[in-house]
Structure 1
Amino acid sequence: MTSEVRSATARGAAALEMDERVVRALRDRLPDVATQTVAAVTVEVPGYTGALSGSMGANIEAAVTMALGGFLRLAAGSRESDPSTPLGPTLEGAYALGRGEARSGRSMDALLAAYRVGARVAWREMARAAAEAGVGAATMAQFAELVFAYIDELSASSVAGHTDELSTSGRVRERYRERLGQHLLAGANLDVLTAAAERAGWPVPETLTAVLLPAAQVRGVLASLGPDTVQVGEDLPGAEPVDHGQPFALLLVPDVEAAGRRHLLRVLDGRQAVVGPPRPWLRARSSYDRAARTAALAPASREGAAVDSEEHLADLVVGADPEALADLRARVLAPLADLRAATRDRLAETLRSWLLHQGRRDEVAAELHVHAQTVRYRMGQLRELYGARLDDPRTVLEVVVALHGTATASAAGGTATGPGGSS
């Protein structure tokens, strides 16, 4: 509410020359004016259509009666109150009305339209009563100015109430939602989570997908995601930073499977994010744990492309127990232990490629950028060292797992060591 509007209303009330007889005539007409105003509002304003019954109808009638009563106190001027401050209770009521609209999830559009319709109808009826009471043209013009300055002031007060309610409820909702996210990570029981969701005004989804990303990127991402995304915070257990040296945050995104997940990955492109799998909302911690392990295993690239944990399932399985992987690798590569490091590494690389390509020599040669005869020679060396074990399915499985794990550990900065020292 601006000081200009307030002063215009006060000046209009002070300048209005309306005697007791006219005020009494207006007061006698007040019930009819209220009835017609309410009827017009509920017919002409879409947000209030058909609202004469029920609690909304009662609220409209109360608001109209309050506004008209306040106006008559204003019009009566110094005879009934201090003309400089006649509107305190009425403005407080308008402010509360705006807050109520916000709490009901409605914008100010309907209420402002109701003020406009109400002003038109009230002016028409009160002007008629004033004319019948013999009010002159000059006073009638002042009367009209006062009506519309008054409506402007009520509207401004309601807008302030609406804005304040949204601001307050928004902060409260954010706190409740962060608390909900903490309960989800803690694996709280259904009753606790349901109550937390209700307090936060959060519609329960089918699934939640965890997204880890630098805290500085959160604001830009939230603008592209649904309003029910939950931001948990920056102090999260059990995860390494997505980008070492800067804090990171967790988002829990509702119901993003299939096309929704593809959209999510596009939104996160360039933001150094790691995306967990979709999980039933009660098991959101599972998605977070997967994203955290993926972040440690396959950190985001310098270009910031989003890391999809679904693309690293084999790496996650192999890297689940680093000590077991190191022991397996030492046992599998024991036949190579006495070779020089460079030779051992070349033969291990060739063996891995040979098994993965199922012995297709040309494909192995292409992958290793060597001649096919080189592959043949190296495999001859390996068969001499391993003997019949290379024909044993169990040995083949262990070699593939061990050597795949070596590549994974190397990419993630792992420390698995082989029988001759470093991998």
Structure 2
Amino acid sequence: MNNTSGVAPSMDPAVVATLREELHTVGEQVVAVVIAEVPAYRDAFLGPMGQNIEQAVRLALDGFLKLASRGADAVTDAGTPLEPVVEGAYQLGRGEARSGRTMEALLAAYRVGARVAWRSLAERAVTAGMGGEQVASFAELVFAYIDELSAASVAGHSDEAETSGRVRQRLLERLVRQVVTEGPRASVEATARRAEWALPSTVTVVLLGQGQVRSALSALGPRAIAAEEDLPGLERDDVSVLLVPDARRTSLLHALQGRSAVVGPTVEWARAAASYRRAVRTRALAPRRGVVDTDAHLVRLVLGADEEALRDLRARVLAPLDDLREASREKLVETLRAWLLCRGRRDEVAALLHVHPQTVRYRVGQLRELFGETLDDPEEVLALVVALG
């Protein structure tokens, strides 16, 4: 308690004895006023914890009187009676952090308690014969003592919040990995409970550069969570995985604008692994700049599902062109693809290829000679569409 320098070294033992007799009454007064003036603690004081809190108030007051009787320098002595009180204040701050409350209410309670305790104790001290100069020193000691307890509680709150934050962050990262790798449902649910993250109805997996995670999480809201390491299929890449719960897809895509992201399909949380796999596959196929919506690449994903099968299919259906020169073959393949996509409408094919309609007519004639009745067989046409897709 560094700010106690200059305070009278000790209080008259007789005065201290008189004040100690009043601790129970003063404690009750402090509790009553805190209940009235700090609404955040009203339920806590009136509930089962009320007696424990009142006892803690009296212990704090008793610690103060022990300090006053020994002199302000006693706070620096090893084993001083003040140590348990300061430790109690520290643990109180930690408890506030665990309860999810800020320090605002507790510091308000300290201020109210100091005012009430000072008024009551000062009245009794004067009645017991304390002089004016000593009263002034007594006031300094009261408020310095409260500052010490407040500082200890703030430290406890900060330490607990920091520790809890790190622990929760690790749990959330573990949860992301479990969800996208199809971890056992019971394990996922247990991790979610420990991380205090309610499992949503749906999730959307987003792949994002690690340098963009912080701003993305800010834009997506407090329920979005991320993991950055040990992710299958991304081990060598500087990529993070985000889980966005219960998102409206249009809003999600808009929120990610200006970033390089791949947005997987929106699925039930238990199927998040499917969203993750699709996002990873789309990332390998699509450009890596801007926001890539996997829903816009379904055809490419289907066609690329089995690359060897696709190569074999192309080789089989385009076999009639094998004997042509490479340049001629490329032109006819290009024309055949456009003809299939435009469903044989010559003018549209010409516009797509930027050639004259007569050129299209000539090339289609060549194709019919080479493929024969194949171009009129629905199954073979389907095979050509897939192969040339």
| TM, length-normalised to structure 2 | 0.92
Q: By how many angstroms is 1:292 displaced? A: 0.9
Question: What's 2:26 paired with?
Answer: 33
| Counterpart secondary structure, 2:100 | coil
Structure 1 residue ranges without an equivalent (≥5): 1-5, 405-423
Corresponding residue of 1:64: 57
Q: 1:311-322 counterparts in 2 under 5 A?
A: 311-322=296-307
Counterparts of 2:40 and 2:291 in 1: how far apart (Å)? 43
Q: Does 2:46 correspond to 1:53?
A: yes
Question: Could you list the runs of 4 or more consecutive aligned residues of structure 1 that deviate by over 6 angstroms after TM superposition?
Answer: none
- Please state if 1:359 is matched with 2:352: no
**Partner residue in 2 for 1:273:** 261
In structure 2, relative to structure 1, the CA distance for the partners of 1:382 and 1:166 (3 Å cut) is same
User: 2:220 touches 2:252 (CA, 8 Å); kept in 1?
Assistant: no
With over 3 angstroms needed to count, the CA separation of the structure-2 counterparts of 1:58 and 1:276, relative to structure 1, is farther
Is the contact made by 1:77 and 1:83 (CA closer than 8 Å) also made in structure 2? no
Which deviates the most, 255-264 or 64-73? 255-264
Deviates more, 1:273-282 or 1:110-119: 273-282
Alignment equivalent of 1:74, drawn from 67, 88, 96: 67
Distance 1:172 1:180 in 2: 12
Identity of aligned residues (%): 58
Q: Counterpart in 2 of 1:293?
A: 281
- The answer (yes or no) to whether the contact 1:208–1:278 under 8 Å persists in 2 is yes
Is 1:256–1:264's contact at 8 Å kept on the other side of the alignment?
no
Q: Does the CA contact (< 8 Å) of 1:325 and 1:402 recur in 2?
A: yes
Q: Aligned with 1:238: secondary structure?
A: coil
The CA deviation string for residues 76-105 of structure 1, in whole angstroms up to 9 with x for no partner, is 1259x9454442111101100000001111
| Gap change, CA 1:306 and 1:258, over 3 Å in 2 | closer
The Cα shift of 1:11 comes to: 4.5
- Cα distance change, pair 322–253 in 1 and its aligned pair in 2 (3 A): same
Partner of 1:261: 252
Contact 2:10 2:71 in 1 (8 A): no
- Superposed CA offset, 1:191-237 (max 9, x none): 22211212222221112222222333333333333334333332322
Q: 1:73 to 1:348 in 2, by over 3 A?
A: same
CA contact under 8 A between 2:368 and 2:375: conserved in structure 1?
Answer: yes
Q: 1:339 aligns with which of 324, 328, 335?
A: 324
Tell me by how many angstroms 1:354 deviates. 2.0
Instruction: Find the partner of 1:143 among 126, 138, 141.
Output: 138
Deviations 1:37-62 (A, max 9, x none): 11221221132133323244345324
Aligned partner letter, 2:265: P
Whether 1:155 aligns to 2:150 is yes
Q: Distance in 2 between matches of 1:364 and 1:265?
A: 37
Residue 167 of structure 1 corresponds to: 162
What RMSD in Å do the two structures reach over aligned CA positions? 2.3
For 2:122, the aligned partner's letter is A
CA distance in 1, matches of 2:143, 2:235: 62
SS in 2 for 1:379: helix
CA distance in 2, matches of 1:368, 1:347: 11
Where structure 2 has 5 or more consecutive residues not aligned to the other structure, the ranges are: none
**1:201 aligned partner:** 196
- Give the equivalent residue in structure 2 for 1:44: 37
Aligned 1:110-259 pairs, distance under 5 A: 110-239=105-234, 246-259=237-250
Q: Does 1:403 align with 2:382?
A: no
Task: State the match for 1:410 in structure 2.
Answer: none
Amino acid at match of 2:283: A
